[in-house]
Structures are given as C-alpha cells and as structure tokens.
Amino acid sequence: MSAERMNLPRFAAVLLAGALFGFGLALSTMVRPEVVLGFLRFQDFGLMLVMGGAVAVTVLAYGLLPRLLGRPLLGERFHHHASAWNRDTAVGAALFGVGWGLCGVCPGPAIAGLGLGNWSLLWALGGIALGALVQGLRAR
Amino acid sequence: MNLTLSLFPLGWQHYLLGGLFIGAGVALLFVLTGLVGGMSTVFSSTWSFVVRRPFFQQARFTDSRGWRLVYALGLVLGALVWWLGFAGGAPQTTSVPVWQLLVGGFLVGYGARLGNGCTSGHGICGLGSLQWPSLLAVLTFMATAFLTANLVARWLA
C-alpha cells in the first residue's frame, strides 16, 4: 500500500477479505492440526480440495480482473508478486515443510486459530513469530 | 468400496466450500485494493514496528505492515464468526504436543520467510498467478512435510 493511504473503505475491505479467508480456514477445518497431519499421512485428502478450490477462484480473479478493470475499486493498481526459484526459496520451502509436518500448523491457521479459542495454537504462533525474527536477524 | 468415503472419511463438502471462501477472500482483497494476500509476510512486517535493523526496515515491510495486520485481524474475526455461529462455540483444543507446535512453528516461520512464502503465499497466490517458482516451492514443502509427518508418526506413536 505504498503511497496509498489507509482510509475507512480500504480498512473495511481488507478486514472483510481477511474475514472470508479466516471463515474458510475454520469451515474447512484447516485450523485443526490433526486434520492437516491426517492429510500429510495420507488418511484424508481434504486439503487437496481446499487448495484446489482456493487456487481455482484465485486463478480466475488474478487472470480476469486486471483485464476487466483498469484499476482496483479502492486502489491505484493491481499488484503482482513475482516469485523466484533460488537457493533461499528451495531451502526455505524445505524447512517450512519440515516444520509443517511436525506441527500441522501454517501461518494462516496459526492466526485464525485465535478466533476459535484454541489457545494451544499460541505455541505455534509464537514459534512462527520467533522463526520470522531469527530469519530477519540472520539475513544480510 | 466407496472411493469418496475412503479419500474423505470426514466428508468433502466443507473442504471444497472452505477453499472457495479462502479464494473469495484473496479475490476480494485483489479486486478492491489490488493487493496480493499471502499470510506469512505479516510475521516479518510486524517485527518492523520494534526491530530497527535494516532488514526489517525495508519498504516492503514498513509500507505493508498496516494492512497486513488488519488482514490478520480479519482472519481472526472470520474464524470467530464460524466458531460462534456455526460450531456452537465449543472449546477447541489440539492433541499435538507443545514441543511439536513450538519447534514446528519455529521452522514454519523461519522457512516461510526465507523462502518468501507459505501455503497461502506460494500455494494460493503463487499458483493462482501461474508462477512456476511457486509450484516448485509447493512441491518442495509438500515433499518434506509428507516425509516429516510420516516419520514422526512412526517414531513417536
């Protein structure tokens, strides 16, 4: 949001978008580590449907909206995050997977879990915050 | 043998519907503000409020830390709506041991930030914008997650 100031409509838009995301995480039970670990142990393939559904909607949105609209309704331009394949991405993704396979919690559910009163997830949330801090302190 | 039941013993509708809601959130953020809404960056950008080191003071963190926190707040509220409105507000717990949550969480945070994305950043936004580096990242973390989860189940069960 560089050079684009936060105002009430944008605040409400971001909050509502986050709420849809969080509702979806809770409805799909991705906020329960047991369900995620069950997928990773090939006992329940539900996570594929969650990812598939979310990616399908996102492909349509990212592909069509910039062609249909000149600019976002409350913003100046459609952003694009280029991802790169390099050593950091490879090592980071591999470490992320080890952690995810150990706890069954990724960043979204760790945050959304607070809305379910599942206080045990605070351990994961604290771990993620600490990991992000150490990564930043080690980075050049 | 019922294939649907063996693949999805707990049912499949809530998974698909939940995924569509997640996609709708990412799409709504994009159509209204133009922003790309992965989740893990908030864990770096929020540190920029208190950590003065140049890494955390990069514009990509300081410029986005406000909306990313609002987005995270929305995540909590959306889950709260589901919990109170559709799940009866029954207390939720997890049987995953604390050390696994803490150590696993640390690796999740470190790895997601080193690799510039998590299940939503690379998985949903990266795949959603058809970027092959994100596909490689997803395949990489899926592979190490499968391996870890199964080894842990074998050793610690």
CB within 8 Å of chain A, chain B residues 103-142: 103-134, 136-138, 140-142
CA distance A9 to B67: 12
Q: Is the pLDDT of residue A4 over 70?
A: no
Three-state DSSP at B137 gives helix
Q: Is the pLDDT of residue B27 over 50?
A: yes
pLDDT-derived band of residue A3, with 50, 70 and 90 as boundaries? very low
Q: Is the pLDDT of residue A2 over 60?
A: no
Contact B25 A89 (CB under 8 A): no
- Helix H, strand E, coil C: the string for B35-69 is CCCCCCHHHHHHHHHCCCCCCCCCHHHHCCHHHHH
**Chain A residues near residue B3 by CB distance under 8 angstroms:** none
| pLDDT tens digits, A17-50 | 999 999 999 999 999 999 999 999 999 999 999 9
Closest chain B CA to residue A129: B43
CB within 8 Å of chain B, chain A residues 8-27: 10-11, 13-27
CA distance A105 to chain B (A): 7
CA distance B120 to A55: 9
Average pLDDT across chain B, whole number: 94
**pLDDT score at B68:** 97
Q: Is the pLDDT of residue B148 over 90?
A: yes
Q: Is the pLDDT of residue B130 over 60?
A: yes
| pLDDT tens digits, B49-66 | 999 999 999 999 999 999
B78 reaches A (C-beta below 8 A): yes
Of B157 and B43, the structure prediction assigns the larger pLDDT to B43
CA distance A132 to chain B (A): 5
Instruction: Give the predicted TM-score (pTM) of the model.
Output: 0.95
- Of A22, A71, A123, nearest to B34 by CB-CB distance is A71
**pLDDT score at A33:** 97
Q: How many CB atoms lie within 10 A of CB B69?
A: 16
- Of B30, B102, B115, nearest to A96 by CB-CB distance is B115
CA distance B30 to A78: 7
CA distance A15 to B72: 8
Q: Is the pLDDT of residue A16 over 80?
A: yes
**pLDDT score at B76:** 97
**pLDDT score at B102:** 98
| pLDDT tens digits, A60-76 | 999 999 999 989 999 99
Q: Is the pLDDT of residue A8 over 90?
A: yes
Tokens of B19: 């995924």
**pLDDT score at B157:** 65
What mean pLDDT comes out for the span B3-13? 88
Of B125 and A1, the structure prediction assigns the larger pLDDT to B125
pLDDT-derived band of residue A6, with 50, 70 and 90 as boundaries? confident
**pLDDT score at B6:** 86
| Cβ atoms A77, B34 nearer than 8 A | yes
Which of B81, B31, B15, B78 is CA-nearest to residue A18? B78
A76 reaches B (C-beta below 8 A): yes
pLDDT-derived band of residue B150, with 50, 70 and 90 as boundaries? very high
Contact B23 A117 (CB under 8 A): no
**Chain A residues near residue B23 by CB distance under 8 angstroms:** 24, 53-58, 61
pLDDT-derived band of residue B139, with 50, 70 and 90 as boundaries? very high
Closest chain B CA to residue A46: B15
Contact A124 B32 (CB under 8 A): no
% chain B with pLDDT above 90:
86
* CA distance to A137, B28, B76, B82, per residue, from A115 (Å): 30, 21, 5, 9
CA distance B121 to B44: 14
Tokens of B33: 């503000």
| pLDDT tens digits, A104-133 | 999 999 999 999 999 999 999 999 999 999
Residue B96 C-beta-side C-alpha neighbours within 13 Å = 34
**Chain B residues near residue A68 by CB distance under 8 angstroms:** none
